[in-house]
Structure 1
Amino acid sequence: MLTYDVQIWGIRKRENRAKPYQLRWRVGPQAHSKSYKLKAQADGRRAELLTALRNREQFDTATGLPGSELHESQSPTWYAHACAYAAMKWPSASAKHRASIADGLATITPRLVTDSRGAPEPRVLRAALYSWAFRFYLDENGTLKPRTEAEEAPAEIAAALEWIARKSVKVSDLNTPSVVRSALEALAVRLDGKAAAPNTIHRKHTVFSNALRYAVEREFLATVPLGKVDWKAPETDDEVDFRFVPGPRLAKKLIAAVGAQGERGRHLHTFFGCLYYAAMRPSEVTDLRLSACSLPEKGWGELVLSGSTPRVGSGWTDSGESFDTRGLKRRARKATRSVPIPPVLVRMLRDHVKEYGAAGDGRLFRAQRGGHVLSKEYGETWQAARLAVLSEAEASSPLADVPYSLRHAGVSLWLESGVAPAEVARRAGHSIAVLFRFYAKVIHGSQQRTNEQIERALRDADEDEENR
C-alpha cells in the first residue's frame, strides 16, 4: 500500500555493533530501519529518503521504499519483457510478422546487457534468441508456450539463453538515454558488422518502438523513452526505380523465355504471366485456385483473389508447414480482390488448366510432388530467362532482377495506359498512399497527360464559343 504518511528520524548510533549507524523511518503504521557500517552511508540514504519525501513521492508500507524505487525494484529484465512481448504478439500475427518480430528483438537484446563478460559467440546468441527465445508453439490444450518447453535446446543454445537472462538490463534502465542509444545503434549494423539496409533498420525500429509501448502498457515505463535520444533512422526511398522495370516488349520476351525452359519452365510460364498481366504478388499466385478464375472463351476474364501463401519456415506457422496460408496482404482474413484480366492472360490460364489441371485443393501452380511452388524454383527459372533474353551488361544490372519486377511492370503499364490511380490501387491490392509512394513518377506522368487532355478540352470549348 502506498501512502504519504511518512516520518524519517535522525541517525542513531548503537555501540558494539558491526553496523552501528541505524536509519529509522515510519511509513503509515509500519516502522522500518536499516543499519550501516559508516555514518556517511546512513546519512546518504537518509538524504535520499528525504528527497523522495520532498518530491511528494508516496512510500510503500510493506517495503518502506519510495514509489520510484519500488517501481524499479519490480521492473523485469529487458530479456524477460521481450519474451513476453513476442508471446503477446504471436497469436494474432502472421507467420512472416512473427519472424520479423523475432528478428528485431534478436538484434536489440544482445546490446541491452549490463556487461559482456562470458558472452557467447554472436552467432550462437543470435540463434538462441531468434530460433528459441522468441519462438512459440501451441500445446495440445491450445496454450502458448516457448519453444524451449517443447524440445531440449542444444547445450550452447541453453548456455546462451542462461547468460542473456542473467546479464540483461532492467526495463527501467531504458529511462537512461545511453541505454536506449545502444539499442538504436544495434539496429544499424548487420551481424557481419556491415551497415544494415535502411528498410531493415526501419522495420526493426518499429519492433523496438512497439516493445517499448508494451512496457508502458504494463506500467514498467512511464513513457516511451525514444524521444530522449537524438537519433534518426536513415531515409528510405520506397519509389520503384523505373530504369530497371521491364517495359511491355521486354516483359513479354522474358515470360516467353520462361516457357522455353523445358517442363518446369512450361509449367511456370503462366505463373509469370499472372505476375505481369494481373500484377499479382508471387505469394498470391502460389495460392491461385481454379475456382477463383473466370475464363471466357473470348474477351476479358476475372480473378477473384482471396488468399496468399508466403513461405516463411515451419517454425513460425501454427500448422508446422513452411507456407503460411493467410488472407490478402493488409486485408481482412475473408476479404477478396477482383482483378480483371486481359484476353492474353485468359488464354494462358485456359491452356495451363487444359495441360496441367489443378491440385486436389484447386491450386493451379504446384511443385513437382504437388506442394507449393518454392521461391527458389521460380527464382532460378527467372534468372535463366534473364540470361537468355538480356545482354551481358543488362544481365549484370538490376534490370528485371527479380520476379517481382513483373508486378512493378504490370502496375506501371496500367498507370501509363491512363487507368485512374484509385482503380490501379484496388486491382493491385495497394492503398492509395502506398501507390503514390512507390509509383510517384509514373503517376506524375499520367497526371501530365490528363492535364493536357483537360487543357485541350477547354481550348476546344473556347474555339467553339468564338465560332458562334
Structure 2
Amino acid sequence: MATVRKRKLPSGLIRWQAAYKDGSGARRFKMFERKSDAEAWLVETRHDVARGIHTPGSLSPTVKEAAALWIARCKEKRLEPMTVKGYEEHVNLHIVPFIGAKKLTEITVPAVNAFADQLRDAGRSAPMITRIVRSLGGIFKEARRRGLASTAPTSGVELDLPDRDDPRPVIPTKAELQAIIANATGRWRPVILVAIFCGLRASEIRGLRWADIDLDAKQLKLTQRADASHRIGKLKSKAAYRSIPCPPIVLNALREWKLVCPKRDTGKKGPDGEPVKVLDLAFPNGFGKVESHSNLAERGLLPVLIAAGLAEAKPLLNEAGRPVLDAAGEPKTVMIGKYGMHSLRHACASLWIENGHNPKQIQRLMGHSSIKVTFDVYGHLFADAEADQRAAESLQARLLGA
C-alpha cells in the first residue's frame, strides 16, 4: 500500500514520508518537505513501478559509477580507440567533476539544463557542451539497458546555448589554392592534389589503397580509412563508401607517384610467387605502413603553406600558456599554417558547388551521412546573390511602384 504520512524528525523538523513497494515487493521510503511534493512523486513512482521501469533511489548508481559502465560497454563494442578516448575525456574532465557524485535518479531535465549552465560558466564552448550532454545521454542509455535507470533526461532537451561564432568553415581562396598547388612538390604533391580536387578526409587519404584507384576509369573508390592509432578500418558511415571522379592533374600526379611509392613486402610470397605487400597504401610512410596524421600536417602541408606565404610565426607557449624562452631569454616561435587538411576538403566542396553541383550530389561526393550535414556546413555556398538582389528590387517595385 502506498501512503504519505507526516513525520517529526529528532531535530524537530516536520517532513512528509512517501512509502511504497517496488517491483520486487520491498518496502521503500522517501522524505519530502511538502506533502504535495510527496504525493506527486508517489503518483509518478507508482506509475513507473506498474510499468516495470522504476529504480529505487537507494539502488541507483552515481553518475560516476554509471559512466564507468558506459565506457566499459563502449570498449566491449569495439568502438574506435579515439572515439572511446573522447568519451573518457568527456567523463573525466567535464561530467564527473560537476555531477559525478549525484545519483542517476537525481538527474532530471532541469538538472541537465543546470549542468549545461555550469559548463558554460566554466568556459566550455557551446559545441563542447552539446557533445558532453550527448555523452551524458549515452550514460543513461547504458544504465537503462542494465535496469539501473528509468528515464532519459537528455532526450529532446533544448539547451538554448548562446553561440555567436561564425559556423561557416574556413576555406582557402582560389588564389591561395593556386599558390598551394604551385608549391606542392615531391611525395606530398599527390596528397595535396587529392585533398583539393577529391575532397577526401585525412583519414581516408591515409587509408587509400592503390587497388581503389582506377586510373583508367579516372576515379577513386573509398573503401577504408586509417584511424589515429594507425589502424585500418571501416569508414565513418555507410554514406562514406563512395566513388569520386579525378581531374587530369590528380591522375598524372598519381601515375608519377606510383612509380616511386614505397612498397615494402612481408617476406612472404603469394600463389603467383610475388611478394605479398603489407597494405598496398597509396600514401604510406617510408616503410609501406600507415602514415601518421601529424606527418601529413606538419611534414606535408605546413612546408607547402610556408612556401606559399600562408603561414606565420607565433609564440611557442607552454602548458600554462606562457611563452617558452630560448637560451638567450628570447621567446621561441613556431610556424603555424593558415589552413589544415580539412580546409582543403572544404575547398573541394566549394569548387563543386560553384561548378553547379546540387546539394544531393555534394552529400554523395563528400560522404555525408545526411543532407542536413551538407546544409549545416555548406548551406551558405548554395546561396544565389543575384537572385536575392532581384528579389529585393522586386519587393521595392511592389511597394513603391518604381
TM-score normalised by the chain length of structure 1 = 0.61
The aligned residue for residue 282 of structure 2 is 364
Q: How far is 1:410 from its partner?
A: 0.9
Q: 1:98 to 1:245 in 2, by over 3 A?
A: same
The aligned residue for residue 66 of structure 2 is 81
The aligned residue for residue 326 of structure 1 is 233
The aligned residue for residue 382 of structure 2 is 443
The aligned residue for residue 308 of structure 1 is 225
CA RMSD of aligned residues (A): 4.0
Question: Residue 384 in 1 paired to residue 303 in 2?
Answer: yes
The aligned residue for residue 291 of structure 2 is 373
Question: Residue 240 in 1 paired to residue 168 in 2?
Answer: yes
Q: 1:434 to 1:295 in 2, by over 3 A?
A: same
- Please give the alpha-carbon distance, in whole angstroms, between the structure 2 residues aligned to 1:250 and 1:447: 25
Q: 1:307 to 1:226 in 2, by over 3 A?
A: closer
Q: What amino acid sits opposite 2:177 in the alignment?
A: A
- Please give the alpha-carbon distance, in whole angstroms, between the structure 1 residues aligned to 2:382 and 2:140: 38
Q: What amino acid sits opposite 1:364 in the alignment?
A: A
Contact 1:278 1:339 in 2 (8 A): yes
| Correspondent of 2:135 among 203, 207, 221 | 207
The aligned residue for residue 120 of structure 2 is 188
Contact 1:172 1:220 in 2 (8 A): no
Q: Deviations over 1:175-233 (max 9, x none)?
A: 4956x4664345437xxx6x233322222221112323443444444433358999533
For structure 1, the 5+ residue unaligned runs are: 11-22, 24-38, 114-167, 260-265, 312-321, 453-468
Contact 1:295 1:302 in 2 (8 A): yes
Contact 2:302 2:337 in 1 (8 A): no
Q: 1:201 to 1:110 in 2, by over 3 A?
A: same
Q: 1:342 to 1:44 in 2, by over 3 A?
A: same
- Please give the alpha-carbon distance, in whole angstroms, between the structure 2 residues aligned to 1:61 and 1:234: 46
Q: Deviations over 1:113-151 (max 9, x none)?
A: 5xxxxxxxxxxxxxxxxxxxxxxxxxxxxxxxxxxxxxx
Q: How far is 1:363 from its partner?
A: 0.1
Q: Deviations over 1:214-254 (max 9, x none)?
A: 4344444443335899953343767434xx52234431321
Tell me the secondary structure at the aligned position of residue 71 of structure 1.
coil
| Correspondent of 1:410 among 348, 351, 369 | 348
Larger Rg: 1
Q: What amino acid sits opposite 1:445 in the alignment?
A: D
Contact 1:198 1:235 in 2 (8 A): yes
- Please give the alpha-carbon distance, in whole angstroms, between the structure 2 residues aligned to 1:420 and 1:229: 33
Question: Residue 105 in 1 paired to residue 91 in 2?
Answer: yes
The aligned residue for residue 421 of structure 1 is 359
1:220-299 equivalence runs, <5 A? 220-226=148-154, 232-235=160-163, 239-241=167-169, 244-259=170-185, 266-296=186-216
TM-score normalised by the chain length of structure 2 = 0.69
- Please give the alpha-carbon distance, in whole angstroms, between the structure 2 residues aligned to 1:412 and 1:70: 52
| Correspondent of 2:339 among 391, 401, 406 | 401
Question: What is the number of equivalent residue pairs in this alignment?
Answer: 332
Q: How far is 1:392 from its partner?
A: 7.2
Tell me the secondary structure at the aligned position of residue 244 of structure 2.
strand
- Please give the alpha-carbon distance, in whole angstroms, between the structure 2 residues aligned to 1:398 and 1:267: 21
Q: Deviations over 1:297-330 (max 9, x none)?
A: xxx601111111121xxxxxxxxxx224222222
- Please give the alpha-carbon distance, in whole angstroms, between the structure 1 residues aligned to 2:352 and 2:84: 34
Q: 1:348 to 1:447 in 2, by over 3 A?
A: farther
Q: Deviations over 1:321-349 (max 9, x none)?
A: x22422222227xx731111111111010
- Please give the alpha-carbon distance, in whole angstroms, between the structure 2 residues aligned to 1:71 and 1:289: 54
Q: What amino acid sits opposite 1:439 in the alignment?
A: Y
- Please give the alpha-carbon distance, in whole angstroms, between the structure 2 residues aligned to 1:220 and 1:439: 42
Q: 1:97 to 1:233 in 2, by over 3 A?
A: farther
Q: What amino acid sits opposite 2:137 in the alignment?
A: S
Contact 2:305 2:311 in 1 (8 A): no
Tell me the secondary structure at the aligned position of residue 65 of structure 1.
strand
Contact 2:63 2:103 in 1 (8 A): yes
Contact 2:280 2:288 in 1 (8 A): no
Q: 1:73 to 1:415 in 2, by over 3 A?
A: same
Q: Deviations over 1:355-386 (max 9, x none)?
A: 22545211011223333222221222322222
- Please give the alpha-carbon distance, in whole angstroms, between the structure 2 residues aligned to 1:226 and 1:40: 36
Q: How far is 1:388 from its partner?
A: 1.7
The aligned residue for residue 106 of structure 2 is 173
For structure 2, the 5+ residue unaligned runs are: 30-41, 46-53, 265-276, 315-333, 392-402
Contact 2:55 2:150 in 1 (8 A): no
Q: 1:59 to 1:218 in 2, by over 3 A?
A: closer
Stretch of structure 1 that moved more, 385-394 or 221-230: 221-230
- Please give the alpha-carbon distance, in whole angstroms, between the structure 2 residues aligned to 1:393 and 1:372: 29
Q: How far is 1:64 from its partner?
A: 3.4
The aligned residue for residue 33 of structure 2 is none
- Please give the alpha-carbon distance, in whole angstroms, between the structure 2 residues aligned to 1:364 and 1:227: 43
- Please give the alpha-carbon distance, in whole angstroms, between the structure 2 residues aligned to 1:420 and 1:227: 33
Tell me the secondary structure at the aligned position of residue 188 of structure 1.
helix
Identity %: 21
- Please give the alpha-carbon distance, in whole angstroms, between the structure 2 residues aligned to 1:379 and 1:92: 28
Contact 1:108 1:184 in 2 (8 A): no
| Correspondent of 1:336 among 238, 241, 253 | 241
